[in-house]
Amino acid sequence: MPPRPLELTLTFTRPYRLFLADYWRKVLILGVLNRSLHVHFKDQIAAYDGRSQRFFRLLKNVEEMKKRVVSIPPDHRLYAAAASQSFRKQVRRMRKLMGRKLKDNDLWKTYSQVRGILENIYLWYTLSLFLPGPWADVYKSTYGKKANPVLRRLYVNRVYSEGLMKEFSNFVKACTLLRLKELGISRDPALLLQSEVEALLKSNIIPSAPAIARRRHGYVLIDGKLVFTRDMPSLFQKHGYFFTEPSGTGKGIHGTPSYRAKPLRGKVRLIFSEKEVGAFRAGEILVTQMTDPDCIVAIRKARAIITDEGGITCHAAIVSRELRIPCVVGTKIATKVLKDGDRVEVDATKGVIKKL
């Protein structure tokens, strides 16, 4: 009898480049987290559709990680004030290196230094992302008032390191473009694997144009290999996985209110990357996976904000309260069941979005 397929969960949707998807999986997830937290992540799958990239993990791995993190007591050295201070110091150093003017003859050295810092701090980055947010209630219910100083420190770390992975991705892009320019070669840096970026920076080796161009319209990075298919269910089944896509017509989408207001109506505009911000029109309803500072122009024009991800401490929630824009975060499925031009009603008091 064949083994039962393992359930996948959609962890993030990001406009990240192939390099970061590959590096994140191989080095940060299967390396740093498995080693530091003694968890057993089997894989992180990245699926690119030509517009955005979805990241999947085994549900049991995510639950294992949550169980491990919330079991670490508040007096553990990982949660000490000194550890948080060290984390922020290394974030500053990493940003300083990434902010320097790049020199072609120094690219490999600078890249290696930045990468080394990221790997050193990634455990704390992960703890700061998850524990003060989606896992905070579980941690407080386990440790009571002793949890509060830990959650406050990690929240400060989270705000301090906001956007760090995107900054790293942009830094690698800049390094790659500079080296390509020096070699007089035209390639899309967004479509290079980690090994290809590093071969370019270290040894001036680059894949052929046709090999890279094939990736432009979509791919799946699974078990460390690129697969070109649109038939995700069959691919998952082949590898012993299954994933249940969000279903429905967009009616009755539920999330967490972050800035409450009376029900309002408007047209949806989906934003998946900063490249799409310029198309946003005043009075539209911004629907996205999550916001970051690059979205601020669209946010200021938005009649309301709806996100797939996040809680009351996420970027969208904080900015919506500052700007007094109705906002519902953490819907999980808004970008999957809504499309550009849909008319919706947003009840930012109840956290409900209905398609009209």
pLDDT digits (tens, 9 = 90+) for 52-68: 888 999 999 999 999 99
Residue 76 burial (10 A CB sphere; 0-12, 13-18, 19+): exposed
pLDDT of res. 187: 86
pLDDT at 88: 97
- What is the per-residue pLDDT for 247? 62
Which residues does 86 contact at the CB level (< 8 Å), separation at least 6?
Answer: none
pLDDT confidence of residue 346: 94
For residues 304 and 287, what is the distance between their CA atoms, to the nearest angstrom?
9
pTM score, whole prediction: 0.85
Per-residue pLDDT tens over the stretch 156-166 = 999 899 889 98
- Architecture of the structural domain at 253-355: 3-Layer(bba) Sandwich (3.50)
Burial of 61 (0-12, 13-18, 19+ CB in 10 A): buried
Phi, psi (deg, nearest 5) at residue 170: -70, -35
In the prediction, which pLDDT does 1 show?
61
- Residue spans in the chain of domains classed CATH 3.50.30.10: 253-355
Handedness of CA 343, 348, 349, 351 (dihedral sign): positive
Counting as low any pLDDT under 50, the low residues of the chain are 250
